[in-house]
Amino acid sequence: MIVTTTETIAGKKIVRTLGMAKGNTIRARHVGRDIMALLRNIVGGEITDYTKLLAESREQALDRMKADATRMGANAIVGVRFATSVLMGGAAELLAYGTAVVVEDM
């Protein structure tokens, strides 16, 4: 599955547009991580636990988006974007979305 943030893929021709493919995940913070983040905030530097949480969330949303596109019969997704929203204190959604397409070599 080719996944790109651009609207086109070099050397490929979009022969069919199938619609929006999407994948999301909702994650909650962990009390232990929050305590470590508070300490890190005092002394400065990267909050590695949150970095890891966001990276895992991003990969899961991408995997779910690819699975959605595969179900639609796509072999590529163009115009990929991410969106986030806070659902409640300590929990947030990460959404990956793009246009599922069928591409062929030019």
Residue 63 belongs to domain with CATH number: 3.30.110.70
pLDDT at 39: 60
User: What are the average pLDDT values for consecutive 10-residue runs of the chain, which has 106 residues?
Assistant: 97 98 86 57 70 89 98 98 85 94 97
Whole-structure pTM value: 0.83
- State how far Cα 51 lies from the chain centre: 14
- Give Cβ neighbours of residue 79 (< 8 Å, ≥ 6 apart): 4, 5, 6, 7, 98, 99
Helices (H), 1-106: 31-43, 48-72
User: Domain residues for 7?
Assistant: 2-105
Q: How many domains does the chain have?
A: 1
Separation between Cα atoms, residue 33 and residue 77, nearest integer Å = 34
